[in-house]
Structure formats: structure tokens, C-alpha cells
Structure 1
């Protein structure tokens, strides 16, 4: 297939669940005519507690599925999968442009006035080589506070964006950071931006909260342009959604989080967890 053909202008996006929809939302806003295909691996959510080998296996399988579906660029819209698998994905698929997630430590360290930054992410993200490299590179003179927000991904998956329980999870993580002088918070998990209104209620207006999704959309645009994959034809635009979890629950999340009506597809994993495919 010729590079730059209509099929290869499809952007494949995957995450452990619905969190990456926050990234898709920004990509679609910036590139409204670009065809997008999103996979939420809800059969295995959350990734943050899983072993690296599992996360790599799932990431490779979803990448292959999206490439077979015609994707010309892959967005790993999951901080955990990016931390664990992105380097290996680029080595395995050297001709495919990838966009990955990383905690926005560079802008955070540039924007903080108090030199205290809070980072909210999953355990696997904090344990990854990418995060530690970013800390060494950009945060030498900045105090970094971290929290894994136990239960937060599950709350977002369940649609509990603003409940007393969700607020309690956030307050337990954020209030000690504010008490130590944090004036900038980094959202290091793609699920967390869906709770941004509640987070800002807790932090107040003087704390800068960084959502990385707009920067990921800009990077996606740049790579599509570089590889001649931009789609200017609005007549061929399409949004496709698929999940390995409960189809009705996933569809409700699309309506709730994106305010879109969709007909998501059901995906199933084989027994080994090495291949994902459409049901039937």
C-alpha cells in the first residue's frame, strides 16, 4: 500500500480503558477530519498493577490489530503502557510513527514558582525508566511529590467523576501536596483529566494543573504532517471504537465522557493474551 494513502491516514489509539478517550477528545478537536480508531482494553484494566511482561504483550497485540485495520500512526494513550512498552514498540515496528504519553515534568518544572510539583500517576509509571529519566533531566532543583491515587482509575471507569468517594481519593492525594507547597500538579494518567473539574475544586485557582492531552494532540498533528498522513477530506472522516470489556458499559462511557453516540465493536482476547480480534 502506498504511503500516505487514505487507509494509512487512520490514527490508531489504545489504552487500558476509557482514560485514553481524553486524548482522543483533544486529537479530534485539533484534527476534526482525521479518521480515528480507539481500543479500550477493559478486560485488563487497570494496567497500573500489572506485570510489565503482560503490559508489553497487550500493547503489542493491540498495535498489530490497529495496523492490520489500516492505521498509519499509533497513539499509546496510556501512561503505564508508554512507560513499559513504548521503547519496545518502536523497536518492533521501526517504520511506524508512535506517539506516547509521558508525565509533563518539563513544563511543570518550568511553570512552578514554589519549586514544588505534585505528580499523580500509576505505580508502573513511577517505576518506569522514562519517568526516572525525566526527573533526572528536568527536576534537579525541584521537589517532586508523588501519589498513585489507589482506586481512581476504577472510579473513572465506572463513571464516578464527581462523587464523595472520588473526592476522598483525590483529597487524600492532593491535600498533603498542597500542604507542602505544591503549586503545580501533573496528571500522569490519561484517566485523570476526566476528573479535572473536581481536581480544580480541591486545588483552587492558584494551582496549575497540567493535562498532557493537548500536547499529545499537537505531537500527533506534527507526526502526521511529517509522514504525509494528514487527512484534509472531511467527507471520509470516521470514528471507530472497540473494547475488550463490556460493550454496553463502554458505550455508556463514550456517551458520558465524549457526549457522542457510537456503535463500538466487541473485541476478544485469545487464551494466550497474545492476540486480540473482533468477536465472531
Structure 2
């Protein structure tokens, strides 16, 4: 059974993979972390486009994937339009910061978006933000270094950076000028949601896109007649860098035992 390909610049896309496996338990997945060329979020579009093209071609050539989930906000904003044009026969699902559900959920009309500098500087994000002008006050918070800290299991760095960027995303509360909803605009950030919550009131809402992406993947596979209808599903982990780092991340962030996957 052909697998669904999932890729990110590193381990952040594991948060999306978790939602995908819950939504589609009978499917096989191959997750590719492009860690040798990370981080994407602090690079230019041309670099991200080159790497995204190389990864999708590799996944098609080596695994015959039946769909692709681009589990990276930066790669989505920079390259998904080209991947869809060049692989028109392949269902491709991408990410964007969840501003629409955040604005809908906010009672105060004040929303903060935590994301990489690359995502926040993109034309796609600018257009998305502009579409809510007048209906919500949107604060953009570039979280330099947080992806690197998460990738490196740097507990002290994660703690310090979460505190710093949550301070920049606030002030939080239910008052008329306070932020009551935060968009986690990078797939790495849901992995440290508990740490982010330490620096916010319990009423603060966090929005990420893992579940909607999984639901959209199901819809596209169903419409293409490619849904698996039996089996238990499997998972293969691959990396352009050290696959042991990816294995450790899957064990730490998703609680996956070594026997739950195969590796390159």
C-alpha cells in the first residue's frame, strides 16, 4: 500500500504526523525530516523552494507516495504553489497559520501569531493578515531560535525562549485590548505547548492546524479514491541528517516506542 509522505525541515512536523495518524490509522506514512538543510524559517524563498522540490521528488521516486503533506509553514508559503504545478497528479496538503479559526474564536478581537521569521515575512502571510484587517488586531511575533532549541532538546533554551516570546505575544486576558488567542504558526511550537502555557492564563486559547490538515488529507484521498480501507498502518522515519535524532524526537514528543516505526 502506497504511503502518504509527510515532510518538514526537522522534527516539528511530528505534531502534524500525530494528528494524521489519529485521523487515518489504516494508512502507511513516511516522514522525512530535512535536518541537514534546516532551519527553513530563517532562509530565503529560493533555498526553501530548492529543498522542497528535492524532497518531493525523492519521496515519489523512492516510496511512490500517493499524497504529500507539507508539514512546514515556511515550505508551504514559499513552495507549495510550485509543487502543485509540477506534481498535478499528486494530492498535496499544506499549512498556513490558523488566523481564520483564531479570529473566529477570539472574544477580544486581539490575536497573536507566533511563527518563524520566514513565514511572517512571506507574501502569503501578508495577504492572509490583510484579509482580517478591520475585524481583528493581529500581532506577529517572530520566534528566532525556538525551532533550533526544540530540535536540540535544549530544555533551558526552550524555557527561556518560550517565556520571552510569550511576553512579546501578550498582554493576555479577556480585557478589550488584551490577547485571548495565540496562533502557533510553526509545526514545532505545539510540541512545547505545555511550556508556553506556563507563561499565560489558563483561559488563553492556542490554535494550531494539525487536526484540520489531517481532515483535509482524508477528504482529498477520499475524492481521489486512494483511502486505505483495511490494515493497521505503518510509519517510516527518514532524515537528510542523523535519523537517530528524529527517532529520539518521535520517542520524546509523540511517545512512540522504537518498535512503532522503521527508519532509513
**TM-score, normalised with respect to structure 2:** 0.92
Show the counterpart of 2:174.
none
For 2:81 and 2:68, the matched residues in 1 are separated by: 13
- C-alpha separation in 1, matches of 2:168 and 2:41: 22
Corresponding residue for 1:64?
A: 57
Q: Choose 218-227 or 129-138, whichever is displaced more.
A: 129-138
Shift of the alpha carbon at 1:205?
1.2
Q: 1:251, 1:263 within 8 Å by CA — same for their partners in 2?
A: no
Q: Distance in 2 between matches of 1:222 and 1:36?
A: 17
In structure 1, distance between residues paired with 2:138 and 2:245: 36
Shift of 1:154: 0.7
Give the C-alpha shift of residue 247 in structure 1: 2.4
Q: Secondary structure at 1:234's aligned position in 2?
A: coil
Does the alignment pair 1:24 with 2:14? no
50-59 or 186-195, which deviates more: 50-59
How do 1:256-267 and structure 2 match up within 5 A? 256-260=252-256, 261=258, 262-265=261-264
1:141 CA drift (Å): 2.2
Work out whether 1:232 is the aligned partner of 2:229: yes
Q: Is 1:247 aligned to residue 243 of structure 2?
A: yes
Distance 1:98 1:247 in 2: 25
Q: What is the aligned-residue RMSD (CA, Å)? A: 1.4
Render the CA deviation track for 1:134-193: whole Å, top value 9, x for unaligned: 112234321111111111001110123xx3432221221112332261110000000000
1:276 alignment counterpart:
none
Q: Write the distance in 1 (CA, Å) between the matches of 2:125 and 2:217.
A: 21
Cα distance per residue 1:99-136 (max 9 Å; x no partner) = 00100010111111111100001111112122112112
Greater shift after overlay, 136-145 or 111-120? Answer: 136-145
Structure 1: which 5+ runs fail to align? Answer: 1-5, 266-280
Cα shift at 1:25:
0.5
Q: Is 1:108 matched up with 2:102?
A: yes
Structure 2 matches for 1:10-21, cutoff 5 A? 10-21=3-14
Deviation at 1:55, TM superposition (A): 0.6
Displacement over 2 Å in runs of 4+? 138-141
**How many residue pairs end up in the alignment?**
255
Separation in 2, partners of 1:133, 1:166: 30
Equivalent residues of 2:117, 2:143 under 8 A apart: no
Instruction: Give structure 2 stretches of 5+ with no counterpart.
Output: 172-176
Corresponding residue of 2:218: 221
Which deviates further from its counterpart, 221-230 or 165-174?
A: 165-174
Give the conservation status (yes or no) of the 8 Å contact 1:105–1:139: no
Match of 2:183 in 1: 186
Q: Which moved more, 1:124-133 or 1:112-121?
A: 124-133
**Alpha-carbon distance in structure 2 between the residues aligned to 1:165 and 1:38:** 26
User: Helix, strand or coil: the match of 1:138?
Assistant: coil
Match of 1:157 in 2: 151
After TM superposition, the structure 1 = structure 2 runs for residues 118-197 of structure 1, keeping only pairs within 5 Å, are 118-160=112-154, 163-179=155-171, 181-197=178-194
Q: 1:197 to 1:72 in 2, by over 3 A?
A: same
